[in-house]
Amino acid sequence: MTTPDSAPDTRPGHKVIADYVKTLDNSPGVYRMLDHESRVLYVGKARNLKARVSNYTRPTGHSGRIAKMISLTASMMFLTTRTETEALLLEQNLIKQLKPKFNVLLRDDKSFPNVLVTRDHDFPMIKKHRGAKTQKGAYYGPFASAGAVNRSLNQLQKVFLLRNCTDSQFESRTRPCLQYQIKRCSGPCVGLISKQDYAASVRDAEAFLSGKSTDVQAKLAEDMQAASEAMEFERAAALRDRIRAMTSVQTAQGINPQTVTEADIIALYLDRGQACVQVFFIRAGQNWGNKDYYPRVGADIDAAEVLEAFLGQFYDTKEPPRQVILSNAIDNMPLMADALTQKLGRKVELLVPQRGEKAELIDGAMRNARESLARKMAESATQAKLLKGLAEAFELPDAPARVEVYDNSHIQGTNAVGAMIVVGPEGFAKNSYRKFNIKGDDLTPGDDFGMMKEVLTRRFKRLKKDDPDRSLGHWPDLLLIDGGAGQVSAVDEIMREHGVEDIPMIGVAKGVDRDAGKEEFHRTGKRPFALRHNDPVLYFVQRMRDEAHRFANGTHRAKRAKAMSANPLDDVPGVGAARKRALLAHFGSAKAVSRANLADLKAVDGVSESLAQKVYDFFHERG
């Protein structure tokens, strides 16, 4: 159901809403409040739409935030659902999609990494996995960060000696790699461990990740003692090192709970209209790290509303655990529990503990939330001063809310990438960073002007398509370009081509002897200038430029490494993993496959005549 009239109403908001109430029944559902430009102000859910929306028809008696929202309302939209649980799930989905101004919004909502032990190979690998769980194997997690999972994987490889190479690398090995030399792999690729012994290591690793670390440690200790008694001192020393590595994993995890096996510990701290939510992940009785969130809230929002909105948006794309332990009760505890239960497919409990170990876990999470918010608010105050200083130094009308910094990276024009980082009132907005694979076939290798033109052309085309009226906050208030007068002139030309002439742009050049600290700043139609050597704004610009450089170089290195490690057989149509293994086993390397004649290719086990012809044609009909 949508608006009774197609044009937005210009009467006071509460009167507009009163007319909609007449059209509603007592169904559960979701409502949207829109302003005069049809932008969504607020998304809400209701067990009874008529009763809920009626609350907004009073001209007075609302909090400041709700009164402002009502005053801006020019039209409404409604969607009815079968149950209130469906309404809750739909509400949170719409909030994440539409990002309404007056809703509590969860920011930085990325997926979490897991540890994956694969199950589609005779010698399974252990690796970090992020995203949809489509690959066959056992998943353990989530871990709070890539750093946490990388540290654990590093130690787990020392303990269990499982491979972390790709299947194609595994199949093409003819001698042990560096991982074997530094005692982080048992060398299954060249037959240095039997399939049975390797499988036993996999079982031990999975037992450890499932919380049975004591059993695994005891078994390793017994093996070490037996090796020592048999005077196999080298093996005993290796087992000792594995036990130490396991202890290191457990120490890094910090305090592990005794009575909580699988739960998320979620604590909210509010202060002066700012909020921090701290989430600790407990899986298999082990603490797998914590992460803090800073949802967008207002000064008059209470803890129950913030926490309910956080839970709905947080678990919209994540699998909830069996228990969610909260610092505060929310208004719809049974409803939220029912929604999470439906999502998981098994019972999910929401708890607000008052005593015992669960309460102690909440206290610890609350302490972290309080300290994190204090640091964040201090950093925000400093950031606001720096942005204000940036505006004064570069004669901008206002402190920029969004600064975009651009850089390119390549080696003699190869594997070229462009990079954009974003800086705002809360510092580096890493979830807004973008990379651009340079596609221009007509570019001269190393043509930095041409690369920058391609990057900014693609950027402005996307902005004009996705946010044409600049209402979503995606447009920059300032562009920083790594380069001098030539780069500034080229970028100015690009912006004029796209009709974007109202965004300030500054080129940052190294200056005399390319010495950091002597940077020169270039602007269109103005003389270059420099800032004082000890000016905080200069340090701020250097940090932004260095971060853009770091991101561009990291993206370039990743692209180059991928190109270097690519197996030519990956691109041959019709050659899957099994055929690739057969070809590599028969010829020894991808290079040998590329040189093979048609008769030899047909002789490979499992390769048909037609596939042999495809492989032969792929390597002999190019160029």
**Span 225-273, pLDDT tens digits:** 887 877 877 767 777 776 776 666 555 555 567 788 899 999 999 988 8
Residues 518 and 596 in one domain: no
Q: Are residues 67 and 124 in the same domain?
A: no
Residues 226 and 358 in one domain: no
Number of Cβ atoms within 10 Å of the Cβ of 67: 18
pLDDT grade, residue 323 (50/70/90)?
very high
Lowest model confidence (mean pLDDT) among 34-43, 141-150, 197-206, 457-466: 141-150
> Which residues partner with 287 through β-bridges?
282
Mean pLDDT within 533-541: 88
87 in the same domain as 143: no
Q: Which residue has the higher pLDDT, 619 or 387?
A: 387
Same domain, 466 and 537: yes
Are 85 and 127 members of one domain?
no
Q: How many structural domains comprise the chain? A: 5
Burial class (CB in 10 A: 0-12, 13-18, 19+), 513: exposed
Share of the chain above pLDDT 90, in %: 34
Q: Is the pLDDT of residue 505 over 60?
A: yes
177 contacts 165 by C-beta, under 8 angstroms:
yes
Q: Are residues 130 and 71 in the same domain?
A: no
List, for residues 399-419, the tens digit of each pLDDT value. Answer: 999 999 998 876 555 667 888
Q: What are phi and psi of 465, to 5 degrees?
A: -80, -45
Domain check: are 476 and 499 in the same one?
yes
In this model, does residue 517 exceed pLDDT 80? no
Q: Report whether pLDDT(2) > 50.
A: no
CA distances from 409 to 436, 447, 560 (A): 10, 11, 11
Shared domain check, 128 and 92: no
Q: Out of 65, 98, 131, pick the residue that ends a domain.
A: 98
Residue 513 confidence (pLDDT): 55
State pLDDT tens for residues 428-487: 988 889 988 877 666 566 667 778 888 888 899 888 888 888 877 889 999 999 888 888
Q: What is the pTM (predicted TM-score) of this model?
A: 0.71
Question: Exposed, middle or buried: residue 529 (CB in 10 Å: 0-12, 13-18, 19+)?
Answer: exposed
The single-letter code of the amino acid at 335 is: L
E strands, 412-537, where? 414-424, 427-428, 434-437, 478-482, 505-509, 520-522
Collapsing DSSP states into helix, strand and coil, what is residue 508? strand
Pick from 170-174, 312-316, 354-358, 409-413: least confident: 409-413
pLDDT given at position 440: 64
Query: Of the segments 28-37, 127-136, 166-175, which one has the largest average pLDDT value?
Result: 28-37
Q: What is the mean pLDDT of residues 185-198?
A: 91
Domain of 71, CATH number, reads: 3.40.1440.10
Domain that holds residue 61: 13-98
Domain boundary among 374, 392, 426: 374
For residue 411, report the phi and psi dihedrals to the nearest 5 degrees. Answer: -125, 110
